[in-house]
Amino acid sequence: MRGKSILLIIGGGIAAYKALELVRRLAERGVGTRAILTQAGAQFVTPLSVSALTGEKTFGDLFSLTDEAQMGHIQLSRSADLVVVAPATADLMAKMAGGLANDLASTALLATNKPVLMAPAMNVRMWESAAVKRNRAVLEKDGVLFVGPNDGEMACGEFGPGRMAEPLEILAAIEQALAVQGPLKGVKALVTAGPTREPVDPVRFLANHSSGRQGYAIAQALASAGAQTTLISGPVGLAPPDGVKLQRVTTAREMLAACEAALPADVMVMAAAVADWRPDIAANSKIKKSTDRVVPLIKLVENPDILASIATGAQRPRLLIGFAAETDDVVANAVAKRARKGVDWIIANDVSGDVMGGERNRVHLISEAGVEDWPEMTKIEVGTRLAARIAEKLGAA
C-alpha cells in the first residue's frame, strides 16, 4: 500500500474515535490520508486531532471561500486512490444512495470517480431497519464496498450488529480494495529476499550481510500494485509485508525447492543474496578448538544456481529478473551476468558500502534495450519504481 493515498470521511458517531487509530495505522504503512470531518463527526473528534495525525488540513466546509475557490470537493474526491467512510452513518449511507449532496462529505461522495469503502456504525435497530437495508442494497449495486459492521455491545447498551469494524479490519479491507484496483491485478509474482545460511555445524554457518530490505520492499510494492505475491525469504529480522504470502527458508537448496514449488508465476524477482558455496559436510555436533591449534579443514562445494535453474526450467516466468550485487565494475559485470544467466532483466547495485544493511540504494536496470541508471533513492522507492516498470512491461507484452 505504500505510496497510496486515502480520502477518509469521518461521520458522526461514537465510533469516530476509531478513525484516528485507522489514520495512524495507515501512516505506519506509508499511506497518506486527507480527511473530511462532517459537522456531526466534529462532535466526537476534533479537526485538530485529525490534522495532527494526517499531517494535512482537515476539511469540513462545503462553502469555504479558499477551498471551494478551486473546486475543493472535486479535487478531494478524485485525488485519492480510495475513499473510505468510517464511521459510515445511516445518514451518510442514505445521502449517497439517494445522490444527495448538501454538505462537503456527500458532495465529495457524489463527485468521486474512485472506489468507495464504507465501514457502517449505528444502533442495531437502525442497521436492521428496512430503509438502511434498502440503501445498502443500492450502494452495493453501485459498486460500493463494505467492511462490517460487527456484532457487539453498543454505546446505547443494546447488543447486536452495528459496531464499526476495528481499525485493523478496515485496514485489511483497504489493502484488498487497493490491490483489486492495481495495474498488476491478476498477475502472479514470486520474489526472493535475504541471505541464505549454510551450516558448518549446529552453531556456525556461512552467510552474508544481506538484510532482505530490498526484496521485502519489492514484494510489498508488487502486492500493493495488485499482484498475487509470494515472498521466499532467507533469515532476516523484518516484519512480513502486507498482503504477501511469506515462506521462510534457510539454505540455498531450500530456497530452490521453495521457488520450484511456487511456480508457475508471471514475474519473478530474485533479490536474495544466495550463498555460492556450502560446506560439503555439516558436522552434527559443534566443532571444538583443538589443543594444538590446528584449524579444521572445511571443504566447500558449489550451491545450485537458482537463477540459472529457473531461467532454463520448464516453468520459466514471463518476466525473470535477477540481481547483481557487485563491488567493482558494477554495470559491466551485471551485463555479463544477464547474458550468462539468460534472464530478462538484471538489477545491478554497488554493495561495497553499507547498502546491504542500509535504507537506500542506487541501482541500474539492465535489459535487452540497454542500461537504465536510476538515481539514489530509498529501497522502498526502488521497489515502487520497479513494480511500475514491471506493470508497464507486462501490459505491453
Q: Which residues are catalytic?
A: 156
Angle in degrees, 0-180, between the axes of helices 90-98 and 104-111, rounded to the nearest 10: 40
- Which amino acid is it at 288? K
Give dist(CA 244, CA 96) in Å, integer. Answer: 34
Burial of 99 (0-12, 13-18, 19+ CB in 10 A): exposed
Whether the CA torsion 387, 388, 390, 391 is positive or negative: it is positive
Beta pairing partners, 366: 346, 371
What burial letters (b/e) apply to 222-261, b meaning 16+ CB within 10 Å? bbbbbbbbbbbbbebeeeebbbbebeebbbbbbbbebbee
DSSP-derived 3-state class of residue 16: helix
Element (H, E) at 201: strand 198-201
Q: What is the distance, to the nearest Å, from the Cα of residue 172 to the centroid of all Cα atoms in its chain?
A: 11
